[in-house]
Chain A
Amino acid sequence: MVIASVTGDVLLSKAMKQVGDVGNLWENHGIFRVIRSVLRHPLFSLGIAAMAIAFFALLFGLSWGDVSLIAPASASLTFVGNMIAAKLFLHERVDRRRCIAVAFVACGVVLLAF
Protein backbone atom coordinates (compact mmCIF):
# COMPACT_ATOMS: atom_id res chain seq x y z
CA MET A 1 0.00 0.00 0.00
CA VAL A 2 2.84 2.39 0.86
CA ILE A 3 4.64 1.87 -2.46
CA ALA A 4 1.42 2.23 -4.45
CA SER A 5 0.41 5.32 -2.47
CA VAL A 6 3.77 7.09 -2.90
CA THR A 7 3.81 6.29 -6.62
CA GLY A 8 0.27 7.60 -7.01
CA ASP A 9 0.97 10.80 -5.07
CA VAL A 10 4.07 11.61 -7.11
CA LEU A 11 2.36 10.92 -10.45
CA LEU A 12 -0.74 12.94 -9.53
CA SER A 13 1.33 15.84 -8.22
CA LYS A 14 3.36 15.88 -11.45
CA ALA A 15 0.19 15.76 -13.55
CA MET A 16 -1.52 18.60 -11.64
CA LYS A 17 1.58 20.81 -11.83
CA GLN A 18 1.54 20.39 -15.59
CA VAL A 19 -2.19 21.14 -15.82
CA GLY A 20 -1.81 24.36 -13.76
CA ASP A 21 -3.72 26.13 -10.98
CA VAL A 22 -7.23 24.62 -11.01
CA GLY A 23 -8.81 27.71 -9.42
CA ASN A 24 -7.50 30.05 -12.11
CA LEU A 25 -8.27 27.59 -14.91
CA TRP A 26 -11.85 27.24 -13.63
CA GLU A 27 -12.34 31.00 -13.74
CA ASN A 28 -10.77 31.41 -17.18
CA HIS A 29 -11.96 28.30 -19.03
CA GLY A 30 -14.84 26.76 -17.03
CA ILE A 31 -15.08 23.62 -14.91
CA PHE A 32 -15.68 21.19 -17.78
CA ARG A 33 -12.52 22.26 -19.56
CA VAL A 34 -10.56 21.76 -16.34
CA ILE A 35 -12.05 18.30 -15.75
CA ARG A 36 -11.35 17.31 -19.34
CA SER A 37 -7.73 18.44 -19.26
CA VAL A 38 -7.14 16.65 -15.95
CA LEU A 39 -8.80 13.40 -17.03
CA ARG A 40 -6.96 13.35 -20.36
CA HIS A 41 -3.53 13.74 -18.77
CA PRO A 42 -1.62 10.43 -19.11
CA LEU A 43 0.16 10.75 -15.75
CA PHE A 44 -3.23 11.26 -14.08
CA SER A 45 -4.43 7.86 -15.34
CA LEU A 46 -1.28 6.16 -14.08
CA GLY A 47 -1.62 7.91 -10.73
CA ILE A 48 -5.25 6.80 -10.45
CA ALA A 49 -4.23 3.20 -11.14
CA ALA A 50 -1.62 3.34 -8.38
CA MET A 51 -4.10 4.97 -5.97
CA ALA A 52 -6.69 2.28 -6.78
CA ILE A 53 -4.21 -0.40 -5.75
CA ALA A 54 -3.52 1.53 -2.54
CA PHE A 55 -7.29 1.91 -1.92
CA PHE A 56 -8.04 -1.82 -2.13
CA ALA A 57 -5.00 -2.54 0.05
CA LEU A 58 -6.52 -0.11 2.59
CA LEU A 59 -9.88 -1.92 2.38
CA PHE A 60 -8.13 -5.20 3.20
CA GLY A 61 -6.35 -3.55 6.10
CA LEU A 62 -9.51 -1.94 7.47
CA SER A 63 -11.29 -5.30 7.46
CA TRP A 64 -8.56 -6.64 9.76
CA GLY A 65 -8.00 -3.77 12.21
CA ASP A 66 -9.15 -0.43 13.60
CA VAL A 67 -9.03 2.63 11.36
CA SER A 68 -7.02 4.41 14.07
CA LEU A 69 -4.36 1.69 13.75
CA ILE A 70 -4.23 0.86 10.04
CA ALA A 71 -4.42 4.42 8.73
CA PRO A 72 -1.57 5.84 10.88
CA ALA A 73 0.74 2.84 10.42
CA SER A 74 0.66 3.04 6.64
CA ALA A 75 0.55 6.83 6.58
CA SER A 76 3.74 7.32 8.62
CA LEU A 77 5.76 5.33 6.09
CA THR A 78 3.96 7.07 3.24
CA PHE A 79 4.97 10.50 4.61
CA VAL A 80 8.66 9.63 4.65
CA GLY A 81 8.46 7.91 1.27
CA ASN A 82 6.69 10.90 -0.26
CA MET A 83 9.30 13.32 1.07
CA ILE A 84 12.14 11.32 -0.51
CA ALA A 85 10.22 10.77 -3.76
CA ALA A 86 9.21 14.46 -4.02
CA LYS A 87 12.84 15.52 -3.66
CA LEU A 88 14.13 12.93 -6.15
CA PHE A 89 11.42 12.95 -8.83
CA LEU A 90 9.55 16.25 -8.41
CA HIS A 91 12.67 18.27 -7.47
CA GLU A 92 10.82 20.03 -4.67
CA ARG A 93 12.88 22.09 -2.27
CA VAL A 94 12.59 20.08 0.94
CA ASP A 95 14.06 22.53 3.47
CA ARG A 96 14.59 22.12 7.21
CA ARG A 97 11.08 23.37 7.99
CA ARG A 98 9.45 20.70 5.84
CA CYS A 99 11.79 17.98 7.15
CA ILE A 100 10.82 18.87 10.73
CA ALA A 101 7.14 18.95 9.80
CA VAL A 102 7.29 15.52 8.10
CA ALA A 103 9.26 14.07 11.05
CA PHE A 104 6.73 15.44 13.57
CA VAL A 105 3.76 14.17 11.58
CA ALA A 106 5.36 10.75 10.90
CA CYS A 107 6.18 10.30 14.60
CA GLY A 108 2.72 11.57 15.52
CA VAL A 109 0.88 9.08 13.33
CA VAL A 110 3.04 6.25 14.72
CA LEU A 111 2.01 7.26 18.25
CA LEU A 112 -1.63 7.21 17.14
CA ALA A 113 -1.25 3.45 16.69
CA PHE A 114 -0.63 2.88 20.42
Chain B
Amino acid sequence: MTFRKYLVLVGVAVFGSVGDSLLSRGMKDIGTISLSHLQSLVVALANWWVLGGIVLLIGFFAAYMTALSWADLTYVLPATSIGYVIIALIAKFVLHEQVTTARWIGILLITSGVGFVAGGPAFTPLPEHSSPQPQQEHEPELASTRGDS
Protein backbone atom coordinates (compact mmCIF):
# COMPACT_ATOMS: atom_id res chain seq x y z
CA MET B 1 0.00 0.00 0.00
CA THR B 2 1.38 3.36 -1.04
CA PHE B 3 0.56 6.81 0.37
CA ARG B 4 -1.44 7.58 -2.79
CA LYS B 5 -3.60 4.49 -2.25
CA TYR B 6 -4.29 5.48 1.36
CA LEU B 7 -5.35 8.90 0.02
CA VAL B 8 -7.82 7.18 -2.35
CA LEU B 9 -9.33 5.30 0.62
CA VAL B 10 -9.62 8.58 2.57
CA GLY B 11 -11.31 10.12 -0.48
CA VAL B 12 -13.85 7.28 -0.54
CA ALA B 13 -14.67 7.87 3.14
CA VAL B 14 -14.81 11.68 3.06
CA PHE B 15 -16.62 12.18 -0.28
CA GLY B 16 -19.18 9.50 0.56
CA SER B 17 -20.01 10.73 4.05
CA VAL B 18 -20.11 14.45 3.22
CA GLY B 19 -22.11 13.72 0.06
CA ASP B 20 -24.70 11.72 2.02
CA SER B 21 -24.94 14.54 4.57
CA LEU B 22 -25.56 17.14 1.83
CA LEU B 23 -28.26 14.89 0.35
CA SER B 24 -29.85 14.60 3.78
CA ARG B 25 -29.86 18.39 4.23
CA GLY B 26 -31.41 18.85 0.79
CA MET B 27 -34.08 16.17 1.21
CA LYS B 28 -35.18 17.81 4.45
CA ASP B 29 -36.07 20.86 2.31
CA ILE B 30 -37.96 18.70 -0.20
CA GLY B 31 -39.94 16.78 2.42
CA THR B 32 -41.32 13.25 2.37
CA ILE B 33 -41.58 11.67 -1.09
CA SER B 34 -44.26 9.05 -1.68
CA LEU B 35 -44.29 6.38 -4.37
CA SER B 36 -47.33 8.06 -5.94
CA HIS B 37 -45.42 11.34 -6.45
CA LEU B 38 -42.19 10.23 -8.12
CA GLN B 39 -41.94 13.59 -9.95
CA SER B 40 -40.83 15.06 -6.63
CA LEU B 41 -37.47 13.30 -7.21
CA VAL B 42 -36.95 15.54 -10.28
CA VAL B 43 -37.74 18.61 -8.16
CA ALA B 44 -35.14 17.39 -5.65
CA LEU B 45 -32.47 17.61 -8.38
CA ALA B 46 -33.00 21.41 -8.48
CA ASN B 47 -32.00 21.75 -4.82
CA TRP B 48 -28.43 23.08 -4.36
CA TRP B 49 -27.77 20.81 -1.37
CA VAL B 50 -28.85 17.75 -3.39
CA LEU B 51 -26.76 18.88 -6.37
CA GLY B 52 -23.72 19.38 -4.14
CA GLY B 53 -24.29 15.95 -2.66
CA ILE B 54 -24.49 14.39 -6.11
CA VAL B 55 -21.22 16.09 -7.18
CA LEU B 56 -19.42 14.77 -4.08
CA LEU B 57 -20.92 11.31 -4.60
CA ILE B 58 -19.52 11.30 -8.14
CA GLY B 59 -16.11 11.97 -6.58
CA PHE B 60 -16.80 9.17 -4.11
CA PHE B 61 -17.65 6.84 -6.97
CA ALA B 62 -14.45 7.60 -8.87
CA ALA B 63 -12.35 6.97 -5.76
CA TYR B 64 -14.33 3.81 -4.97
CA MET B 65 -13.79 2.40 -8.47
CA THR B 66 -10.08 3.19 -8.23
CA ALA B 67 -9.81 1.40 -4.87
CA LEU B 68 -11.68 -1.66 -6.16
CA SER B 69 -9.20 -1.94 -9.05
CA TRP B 70 -6.35 -2.82 -6.66
CA ALA B 71 -8.01 -4.02 -3.45
CA ASP B 72 -10.55 -6.64 -2.38
CA LEU B 73 -14.16 -5.62 -1.79
CA THR B 74 -13.90 -7.07 1.73
CA TYR B 75 -10.91 -4.75 2.35
CA VAL B 76 -12.26 -1.55 0.80
CA LEU B 77 -15.64 -1.57 2.55
CA PRO B 78 -14.41 -1.92 6.16
CA ALA B 79 -11.38 0.31 5.53
CA THR B 80 -13.56 3.16 4.27
CA SER B 81 -16.27 2.73 6.92
CA ILE B 82 -14.61 5.52 8.89
CA GLY B 83 -16.98 7.60 6.79
CA TYR B 84 -19.80 6.63 9.17
CA VAL B 85 -17.84 8.24 11.97
CA ILE B 86 -17.57 11.40 9.84
CA ILE B 87 -21.36 11.26 9.23
CA ALA B 88 -21.99 11.03 12.99
CA LEU B 89 -19.72 14.02 13.64
CA ILE B 90 -21.40 16.04 10.87
CA ALA B 91 -24.81 15.04 12.25
CA LYS B 92 -23.84 16.36 15.69
CA PHE B 93 -21.93 19.52 14.85
CA VAL B 94 -23.52 20.63 11.55
CA LEU B 95 -27.00 19.12 11.34
CA HIS B 96 -27.41 19.39 15.15
CA GLU B 97 -28.75 15.86 15.55
CA GLN B 98 -28.31 14.10 18.89
CA VAL B 99 -25.30 11.75 19.24
CA THR B 100 -25.94 9.38 22.14
CA THR B 101 -23.57 7.22 24.17
CA ALA B 102 -24.54 4.21 22.05
CA ARG B 103 -23.46 6.10 18.93
CA TRP B 104 -20.10 6.96 20.47
CA ILE B 105 -19.62 3.24 21.29
CA GLY B 106 -20.54 2.50 17.67
CA ILE B 107 -17.93 4.98 16.51
CA LEU B 108 -15.35 3.20 18.69
CA LEU B 109 -16.31 -0.20 17.22
CA ILE B 110 -16.10 1.08 13.64
CA THR B 111 -12.73 2.65 14.27
CA SER B 112 -11.50 -0.65 15.75
CA GLY B 113 -12.82 -2.54 12.72
CA VAL B 114 -11.04 -0.15 10.38
CA GLY B 115 -7.82 -0.70 12.34
CA PHE B 116 -8.21 -4.48 12.06
CA VAL B 117 -8.66 -4.60 8.31
CA ALA B 118 -6.21 -1.80 7.49
CA GLY B 119 -3.41 -3.78 9.15
CA GLY B 120 -3.92 -6.75 6.80
CA PRO B 121 -3.24 -7.26 3.10
CA ALA B 122 -5.39 -5.25 0.70
CA PHE B 123 -5.46 -7.87 -2.02
CA THR B 124 -5.47 -11.65 -1.65
CA PRO B 125 -3.91 -13.19 -4.76
CA LEU B 126 -5.63 -16.09 -6.47
CA PRO B 127 -4.27 -19.61 -5.81
CA GLU B 128 -1.67 -20.94 -8.22
CA HIS B 129 -3.97 -23.62 -9.66
CA SER B 130 -6.76 -21.23 -10.53
CA SER B 131 -7.25 -19.38 -13.79
CA PRO B 132 -4.13 -17.19 -14.07
CA GLN B 133 -5.45 -14.17 -16.01
CA PRO B 134 -9.25 -13.94 -15.86
CA GLN B 135 -9.10 -10.25 -16.73
CA GLN B 136 -7.77 -11.06 -20.19
CA GLU B 137 -11.31 -11.94 -21.22
CA HIS B 138 -11.84 -8.18 -21.56
CA GLU B 139 -9.48 -5.41 -22.65
CA PRO B 140 -6.44 -7.70 -22.76
CA GLU B 141 -4.09 -4.84 -23.59
CA LEU B 142 -4.81 -3.18 -20.26
CA ALA B 143 -4.67 -6.27 -18.05
CA SER B 144 -2.00 -7.61 -15.69
CA THR B 145 -1.10 -4.28 -14.11
CA ARG B 146 -1.94 -5.22 -10.54
CA GLY B 147 -0.65 -2.66 -8.06
CA ASP B 148 1.88 -2.93 -5.30
CA SER B 149 -0.55 -3.79 -2.51
B68 near A112 with CB under 8 A, answer no
Q: Give chain A residues whose Cβ lies under 8 Å from the Cβ of B87.
A: 67-68, 71, 112
B139 near A41 with CB under 8 A, answer yes
Q: Which of A71, A110, A112 has the most CB of B within 10 A?
A: A112
- Where chain B touches its partner, the secondary structure class is helix
Q: Give chain A residues whose Cβ lies under 8 Å from the Cβ of B102.
A: 111-112, 114
B91 near A67 with CB under 8 A, answer yes
Q: Give chain B residues whose Cβ lies under 8 Å from the Cβ of A110.
A: 106
Whether A105 contacts B124 in the complex (CB less than 8 A), given A19-B69, A71-B84, comes out as no
With contacts defined as CB atoms under 8 Å apart, how many contacts are there between chain A and chain B in the complex? 202
Whether A56 contacts B41 in the complex (CB less than 8 A), given A68-B91, A95-B120, comes out as yes
Question: 1/0 contact trace for B80-121 toward A, CB 8 Å?
Answer: 010010011001000101011011011111111110110110
B106 near A23 with CB under 8 A, answer no
B27 near A59 with CB under 8 A, answer yes
Query: Is B65's CB within 8 Å of the partner chain A?
Result: yes
Count of chain B residues with Cβ under 8 Å from any Cβ of A? 64
Query: Can you report 10 residue pairs joining A to B where beta carbons are below 8 Å apart?
Result: A20-B146, A58-B20, A59-B23, A68-B103, A72-B84, A93-B72, A105-B77, A111-B106, A114-B100, A114-B106
A residues with a Cβ closer than 8 A to B are: 9-10, 12-13, 16-25, 28-29, 33-34, 37-38, 40-42, 56, 58-60, 62-64, 66-68, 71-72, 75, 79, 82-83, 86-87, 90-95, 97-98, 100-105, 107-112, 114
